[in-house]
Structure formats: structure tokens, C-alpha cells
Structure 1
Amino acid sequence: MNPLPLSSLRAVPALALAAALVSAALGTVGTASAQTRGGTLSAIVQPEPPILISAMNSQAPTQYVAGKIYQGLLTYGPDLKPRPELAKSWTISPDGLTYTFELQSGVKWHDGKPFTADDAAFTIGMLLPEVHVRTRAVLLKYVASVRAVSPSTLEIKLKNPFPPFIMMFEVGTMPMMPKHLYEGTDYRKNPANQTPVGTGPFMFKEWKKGAYIKLVRNPDYWKKGLPYLDELVFNVIPDSASRAVAFERGDVQVLRGGDVDNVDVKRLRAIPGVDYTTKGWELFSPMAYLTLNQRKPPFDNVKVRQAVMHALNRKLIADNIFFGLGKPATGPFTSTTLFHEKNVPTFDFNLKKARELVKESGVDVGKYPVKILSTSYGANWDRLDEYIKQMLESIGLKVSIESSDAGSWSGRVSNWDFDMTVTFAYQYGDPALGVERFYRSSNIVKGSPFANVQGYQNAKADVFWLRGGSTLDPAERQRAYSEVQKLLTEEVANANLLEMEFPTLYRANVKNLVTTAIGLNESFDKVYIDKK
């Protein structure tokens, strides 16, 4: 069986229907007025997030909206160097074990209570280790103590040196949470989760499910004179064609990567008065991958997993499904991140080899029907699911596709209730932060879809991860990470598909939109609309 023809992979927007859907979805949400201070910036959140508390949900839509409500101690420039945010300065002891942060003065929570080092110590020492699975793995392993030395000074002591630790203080990884609202409560069931309270430039106002999320200016924001905008509106629009129409008509001013079908990007980019950038992803370096549940047949057999890799034409996926916005992955580390190893086992597109591997496995793959649990990220991902289904059926598997929304997908994958699923994840500038979490045996934990949910276990890999994350010697880190990349690639610990490239399209009068390595996940406190 041949790959899907290109014509079957392209989606032609149904513009007439889309226009009607846009009008219904946007309702009475206004567009931005053209002025330096004031006005509304309208964007899209896609898919609709299950919650706005990024401490408890790391999915991309949650991080996008919550980054305007909450803040971290630091943010990061395009060069990945730390910049002040809620911390105005910091020092690291020569032995790499003590981190001391001096906090900004005059910071208040949205309910008027002061933000202090007690909040930071509570967040890092108590709340995040319980509810933020990605961050928890590092905190429990490396942090010895967290304490407020004074209302404005935070001290963190590590058990062992951990060089990437300074990269962990952005808002998606360590969002500061209000101690006075969460201490002594069931964090996940706290009523405050419905009306988030942060320190950021925008405050939660309204969430009309299925329509929009509205944030308004924080009048007591600690950065004087900011933010410039009065309001942010994140519209929930039902399909990619409608989202493209909303942007064309000016009903929304910003499109984030994935908001529209990749086939529409070139056309929308050519609209007069539209700017385009792929910057703002330096910290994340997103990787798209197919996760195969290794707890049961047929994917508990490494030869079957290798057959899956040979059955997928990743160049076709990059060129014809994602329309050139990405390139085939060679292994678990993206080529833009630290310690990437080029010399890893390769899996060329070879259906004959795939069928031979299935035969060698001794597994009658047809006896074990499998489902692809779909994400709700849009048409590109739907077509990818269809392509994977077709190609795996061509080597003997029985495959169906099961739809889900963002919330149910997160719950199902977090609890290992899936056969296979395609998603993408951020690498966070260092493998110890963004990659290790998917493969360490100790991170086979329920509670997050971005952990070792596939159940991969290898004691050799665990040793390499420990060595790479605990030494201060970059050369030793490289040796450890080179070995682990070879091992994970050979065993198809995950079926890595694409190093993704996300475009941001925006109206040219929207200024200061992408300024850091976390791009649109930033606070937007300096974003303004130019009326000229």
C-alpha cells in the first residue's frame, strides 16, 4: 500500500460556512482599538483548555492563557539567558548547591495581598511537587530545602549540583501561586482554580465555555505604567477554516502556531499588513511524537515498535501534512537543543523492512486491535492520525481512531488509558528538564500526559540520565546524553516524528508581541496596538 496521495492530505477551507461559524463564535467580543495605550487584543485559544492553572496543567493552551495571569521568578531571552521577572536578581553559590533570589518590591496578588518569599517557598517546596508532574520530578530529586530568608529573599538548596536548574523558573514550569489561597487545601479541588489569582498584568474576568476567555488589565500591576492593553480575549472558534477567516476579517489579530491549518499559512502571511515570525520558541523546541503504550501487545515488543518507525514516511509527514513547517526528527533530542547527538540509529521509510520486523517479532499483530487516541489540535493532526492508521494497517495492524477533547485526552493519557496517541512536547532548553521526564523509570507516574506514560523502562538509560543531569562537566554531560539518545532511538522508547516549527502571524500594528524565548506564553505586559 502506498502513502496517502498529496491531494487527499490537503484541506480546502469552506469559507462561506467558516464565516458564519466565526460570527457565531465571536459573539459580541470587540476588536482592538488602534492606540498605544488601551484597547482589546483578540487572539485564539485552540483547543479550549481544561483549566487555567498552569501549575496543574501543562498543555499548550493552558500555558498560553495562564502566562498572562501568573508569573515566574525569571523569564529567558532568545539566547536562553535568564532575565528578571518576579525576581530582580539572583546568585548561585560556587558549588552549585545554593540559589538565592531577591524578589521585586511592591508586587501584589490580584486580590490585593502582597506577594512575598513565603509564596515562592510554598509554591516550590509544597504545591508544585504535588501537582506539577514535570516540575515535581526535578524538585523531589534535587531540592533539599526551600525557605524564605526574609519577605524579599528566597533561598533554595540542592542535594546535588544540577546545572539546568536555573532554566526552570519561567511561568510554565514554576508559576508562582498564592499561599494564602492554597495552603492547607486540596490543591486540585480548590475553588480558586475556577477564578485564578496571579501577579500578572492581566486578571481573570470571564470564561464563557465554547466561546471565549476574557482577561482585563491589572490596575495594581507592579511594573508601573503597564500593561498597555485594557483587555485580552482568547476566542474559542470551532475549526481551522473559521479561525483563518477570523484573522482575515480582522476579528482576531494574532494567530499562534496550530491555530490554522498549515496549508493556510502562506496565504494568510501574504495579506497586506500581516507580520510573520517563527521566533519565540527557542526555549521550547517542540517535538512531535507517537507514543505507543508498551504495557501490552503489540507495542510491548521492540521489533513491532521498530516496524512502526519504518512504516512512517516522516518526510512526507513534514512536507505534505505539516506543509514544510518542521523536519523529520532523528532522535529524542531536537537538533536545536543542547547535547543533540547526530549519530543515532536511523529508520528509513521501508514497508518491506517493517513487515519483516513484524514477522521477526513473532507477534500476530492482527490479534490486538489498537486505537489512536486523537488530540484536538486541528486538521493537521487529524490528517496525521489518518495517515498513521493507513500505514500501520499496511503492515498488518488493525487500527481505529478515537476522538477526544483536550480535557479527556489529558485524563486518558495521564492514566495510561490508551494504545497510541500523537502529540507534541517542549524540550525546555536542556534534556534534563524537557526530555528526561519521558524516559526515566522513576517518572512512570500517573497525573500528567507529559511523563513516562508509555511505560518505557531501561536501567542503562536511567544511569545515563542520572549522570547527564548531575555533573557540572559539559563534556561528561555530552557523553552521557549521546549514549542515552542512541539507546532510546534503537528501542523506539517513543516514535519521534518531527522537529516542529510554529509560525506566529499577527497584524503589523500589534507591537512587542514576541520578545523572549517563551514567545506567546509571555505576559503581554508590553504588548500594545499602534494606531498609526
Structure 2
Amino acid sequence: MHIKNLAFTTLACVAALAAAPASARGITVAVGSSFTTLDPYNASDLLSRTVAKSFYEGLYAFDKDLKPRPQLATGYEVSKDGLTYTFHLLPGVKFHDGSDFNAEAVKLNFERVLNPANHLSRYRLFNFIDRIEPVDDLTVRFHLKRPVAGIIQRLANGTGVMICPSTLKTMDGRGIAFNPCGTGPYKMKEYNPSERLVAVKNPDYHVKGLPKLDSITWLPVAENATRSAMLRTGEADFIHPMPVEQVKDLEKDPNLTISIVPSIMMRYLSINNIQKPFDDVRVRQAVSYAIDREALCKVAFSGFARPATGVLPPQIPGAAIFGEPKYNPQKARELLKEAGYPNGFTTKLWSGYNNSTSGKVIQFIQQQLAQVGIKTETRTLEAGQRVSLVEANKVPSESPNRLYYIGWSNSTVDSDWGMRPVFDSRSWPPKLSNEGYYANKRVDELFDLAQSEVDEQKRNEYYREAQMLIWNEVAVAFLVYEDNTAAYNKHLVNFHALPDTGYEFYEAEWKE
């Protein structure tokens, strides 16, 4: 057996080293969208999974640099053939209901997501697992169907958390979505998806000295100006995203700290590949040529974004750099004429977000497309509308979206999960996030070949070919890599905005 990460150093040791004085108090976090579910196994949006970290822990978690660290595991061993992972579990951990965390709880949680009948959106993140075997209370063995690169990153991304077995046994999917019960540092006090989520300190948390906050109140606030005003008045202690157009003003406030992190968030325009006229690659190319990415970065993001240069952000291992998509409205008009639309056409342009920045994005894209003859009717969707109209659609031919502004943050920081959920033909809604219904059998084949390939160089060759096909076929119109911007009260420390646009707040505290 090859031994990996068998350090047995627990987070309790880390917490014990922190001796800085802090004031016990709660904080308020204002975010740009409402929450879809508190069930991480069924949350397609990163915000919901991030907020759920208040209540849940997994075997591994990402630190502020997106490096996996042990959380409920202390280490693991992997067999020479890469098909068996044996995890050692942290002792003395209890769920919020007082029951023990053990190997059987791990088995129950993963068997739930691995059961296709449960129709959980994160099924394909873990469907390479064949079975889970409890060896003893503190040892659990994962048997895989095939070797998979990046399994620890998948376990660390905030999906594979431990939900109370009592909750799994007594509640259906809706009950789990509204009633979090885990091993985490906070417990739920109040929850209304569109208004607020209040998480309060878990007094029985298994890490001594944590959490350092009495509570976290999460508030969905779509309007940029309102979030900014709340921070200035003290109604909010942390805001995200920070209104980029107000960065210079906020930087002048001595009571605030500004955080700008180059993110791995890809913003793109999903294009419905199976609906006319977008089933013609020339029309998709025309859409892409019609958009000036440099101007988009300035107009909508105040310069806090960079034009996309490939299918994956450059920070992802295996990312291929193709260069910024060209802005050429004349070429766009020529392609539309070749495709049979010399006078253009009218279609729908939606945003999967209803915050102010996204409103600027689709207004800008609407104006750009109009210049080449594509007239659009715009609409911004709230989280619930996004789910019902786009993400939960079960009949591809009846999908109402045509051009759809959305983003994908690679929560595992690897090439596979950076592309498979968005471009694999087996990832059409409601399974995953291929909301443009792109399909290429060779791309699917390359994903499968790469995922099972143990040689890194060969694996990256498969991924590069897949990226080239996706890029050349304009599966989507790639737009920008957005900087992750946040602002917070100077007294709030260790509440980090991450490159994947999530947050790490495990040791967050308030220092006077």
C-alpha cells in the first residue's frame, strides 16, 4: 500500500495555537444571490454549498489556497492499482443530534448520492465509486470502479459532507434541503432561502476553541449599492461580490478591508446547441465574434476581469491557452448571412443571476448583438427561477433558454470537473450543468480516457484535444475570468474569499 497524508495531525492542534484575543459576537454576510438548497449533494451552485459549510464537514476540505486538508479524516492509504482508498477517521466527533460520527455514517452518506434513484445533482461527481466498506468505527474503505485522478480534491470541494444519519433515515430530499444536521461548527436557527439564513455557534463542536463567532447571518442582497451601503453602516460585516465600480471609494474607508482575488470563475454565454438557429456552428461563431471582451471587462466589471483565453482558467492544471476570442462584427454579419440570416433574428437573452453586475453584462451583450442584427429580449432570473426554468428541465427540446449568461467555478480545481459538467453530453439538465445541450461523442470519450489515465502527460493530451474541440465548435461563447472581489470590516479576520468564488471561514473571528 502507498501511504498518503497519514499525518494524523488534527485541526484541533491548529486551533490550539491561535491565542489572539477575540470578541465573541455574530457577523452578517451579504451575498449577491439567494440559496437554492442546503443539501450539498444536490446544490448545483457554489454559494449554496459554501453557506452549507456552516453546518457540514467532509473527510477533506480546501484551505484558503484551495489545497486539500484533512477535516473528518486524518489520512488515507491507496492501493497500488489505485482502486482502493482506505480512510482513517477523526475520533470523538459527534453530529448535531448527539450521535457518533463513524464509518457507517460515511457509508450512508455516499450510498445516498451513489443511488441514481435519488436523482441528486452531484451524482456524477462521485459515480466512479463502486462501494463503501466500513472496516471498523474509525476506518472506511472506498472501492473504485476505475482509477480516478483527483479523488481527494473531489472529497474536499464541499459536496461530500457528512449529514446526520437520523436525518437521512427520516427525511426526504426536501426535508434535508431545509434542515441541516451535520458535525460542523454552527447549527441552524432560522432559514428562508430568499431572505436570510442564521447559523449559531455549536457549543459541542469537536475542535476546542472553535468556532470563534457566536453566529453568522447570511443575507441574499442582489443590489450592489445596497450591499455596499450595508457594509458602510455596519449592517453587514462582509459583502460579496463587492461592487467593483465602488472599489476606489471603499478603499478610502479606514474601517474596511478590500479583497481582490484572481478567480477560477469562468463567465460564459451558454448557447442552446439543439435549437435553431444555434444548432448551426456559424451562428454560434457569429455570437462570439459580436462580443468585445475587452470592453465587457471595462463596462461591466470595471476592469476586475480578464478576457477568456481558453476553456479552462489558466490556474487549472492542464489548461490550454488559445488566446482571446476575436471581436469582429463584420465577420459575425458574414457568418449570419452564410447561415441564412442576412437580416439577423430575434431571440431570448437571460442571466442566471439577478445582481447588478450581471444586469450590466446582459445589457452590454444585448447592445453588441444588436449591432450584427441579433435582437434579444432580456431577463434576469432569481435563484428559484434559474432552477425551475433551466437547471431542472427534463425535456431538452422544451428548454426555454436560448442565450443564457452564467458561470462555472471548478470546485475541484482539476480539468475533469472544470469541463465535464458543462460539456459532456451526459451532463444535460437536470443531471448537471450542460445547459446549452452541447454534444460531441469524441469529447465524451476524451473525458473518460483522461479520467482513467494515470500518466499525467497523456491525461493532459486528452484534455487538450477536448478543449480544442469545445473551443472551435463554440459550445458556449467564452467571455471572461472574473476577479473575486469582497469587502469586509477590518475587525473581521480569517474570513477569506477564495479563487473559486466561495469562502473559507473556519477560523473566522472578530478582533477589536
TM-score strictly above 0.5: yes
C-alpha distance in 2 between matches for 1:240 and 1:77: 28
CA gap 1:390/1:520 in 2 versus in 1, 3 angstroms: closer
* Alignment partner of 1:105 is 2:91: yes
Work out which of the residue numbers 396, 419, 424 in structure 2 matches 1:435: 419
Report how many residues are paired: 485
C-alpha distance in 1 between matches for 2:104 and 2:228: 45
Contact kept? 1:510, 1:527, Cα under 8 Å: yes
CA drift at 1:521 = 3.2
Q: Secondary structure at the match of 1:356?
A: helix
CA gap 1:204/1:518 in 2 versus in 1, 3 angstroms: farther
Amino acid at match of 2:373: G
Amino acid at match of 1:115: F
Match of 1:315 in 2: 294
Work out which of the residue numbers 266, 279, 303 in structure 2 matches 1:287: 266
Work out which of the residue numbers 343, 348, 352 in structure 1 matches 2:330: 352
CA drift at 1:516 = 7.3
Q: CA RMSD in A?
A: 2.3
C-alpha distance in 1 between matches for 2:500 and 2:222: 26
Work out which of the residue numbers 155, 158, 183 in structure 1 matches 2:169: 183
CA drift at 1:209 = 5.8
Match of 2:12 in 1: none
* Alignment partner of 1:200 is 2:184: yes
Match of 1:41 in 2: 27
Match of 1:28 in 2: none
C-alpha distance in 2 between matches for 1:366 and 1:446: 31
Match of 1:14 in 2: none
Contact kept? 1:374, 1:404, Cα under 8 Å: yes
Amino acid at match of 2:465: E
CA drift at 1:364 = 6.4
C-alpha distance in 2 between matches for 1:475 and 1:482: 10
CA drift at 1:487 = 0.9
Match of 1:462 in 2: 444
Work out which of the residue numbers 136, 147, 150 in structure 1 matches 2:136: 150
CA gap 1:185/1:209 in 2 versus in 1, 3 angstroms: closer
* Alignment partner of 1:331 is 2:314: no
Amino acid at match of 1:420: L
Q: Secondary structure at the match of 1:235?
A: strand
C-alpha distance in 2 between matches for 1:410 and 1:365: 34
CA drift at 1:210 = 4.8
C-alpha distance in 1 between matches for 2:408 and 2:21: 36
CA drift at 1:365 = 7.2
More strand by share: 2
Which ranges of structure 2 fall in alignment gaps of 5 or more residues? 1-19, 394-398
CA drift at 1:154 = 1.5
C-alpha distance in 2 between matches for 1:411 and 1:297: 22
Post-superposition Cα deviations, 1:221-274, rounded to whole Å, max 9, x if no partner, equal 111221111111112335211111111122211122x2x422012321331032
CA gap 1:518/1:409 in 2 versus in 1, 3 angstroms: closer
* Alignment partner of 1:296 is 2:275: yes
Contact kept? 2:359, 2:380, Cα under 8 Å: no
C-alpha distance in 2 between matches for 1:381 and 1:515: 19
C-alpha distance in 2 between matches for 1:153 and 1:81: 23
CA gap 1:57/1:337 in 2 versus in 1, 3 angstroms: same
C-alpha distance in 2 between matches for 1:432 and 1:376: 25
Task: Answer with 121-130 or 89-98: which moved more.
Answer: 121-130
CA drift at 1:292 = 0.8
CA gap 1:527/1:436 in 2 versus in 1, 3 angstroms: same
Amino acid at match of 1:502: N
C-alpha distance in 1 between matches for 2:350 and 2:239: 26
For residues 459-498 of structure 1, the aligned pairs below 5 Å read 459-498=441-480
C-alpha distance in 2 between matches for 1:519 and 1:72: 19
Work out which of the residue numbers 384, 392, 398 in structure 2 matches 1:407: 384
Q: Which has the higher contact order (CA 8 A, sep 6+)?
A: 1
Q: Secondary structure at the match of 1:169?
A: helix
Task: Answer with 495-504 or 261-270: which moved more.
Answer: 261-270
CA drift at 1:161 = 1.2
C-alpha distance in 1 between matches for 2:467 and 2:150: 18
C-alpha distance in 1 between matches for 2:141 and 2:257: 43
* Alignment partner of 1:530 is 2:511: yes
Work out which of the residue numbers 151, 155, 158 in structure 2 matches 1:165: 151
CA drift at 1:331 = 1.9
Contact kept? 1:77, 1:517, Cα under 8 Å: no
Match of 2:123 in 1: 136
Post-superposition Cα deviations, 1:435-474, rounded to whole Å, max 9, x if no partner, equal 22211122224254xx222111112212221222111111
Q: Secondary structure at the match of 1:107?
A: coil
Post-superposition Cα deviations, 1:107-166, rounded to whole Å, max 9, x if no partner, equal 1221212222222112222235546756322422x2122122222111111121111112
Task: Answer with 238-247 or 129-138: which moved more.
Answer: 129-138
Which ranges of structure 1 fall in alignment gaps of 5 or more residues? 1-33
Work out which of the residue numbers 380, 386, 409 in structure 2 matches 1:426: 409
Contact kept? 1:129, 1:139, Cα under 8 Å: no
Post-superposition Cα deviations, 1:155-182, rounded to whole Å, max 9, x if no partner, equal 1111211111121112523122223222
Contact kept? 1:97, 1:160, Cα under 8 Å: yes
CA gap 1:407/1:129 in 2 versus in 1, 3 angstroms: farther
Match of 1:55 in 2: 41
Task: Answer with 403-412 or 285-294: which moved more.
Answer: 403-412
Q: Secondary structure at the match of 2:253?
A: coil
C-alpha distance in 2 between matches for 1:132 and 1:170: 22
C-alpha distance in 2 between matches for 1:194 and 1:365: 50
CA gap 1:184/1:445 in 2 versus in 1, 3 angstroms: farther
C-alpha distance in 2 between matches for 1:98 and 1:82: 19
Contact kept? 1:74, 1:86, Cα under 8 Å: yes
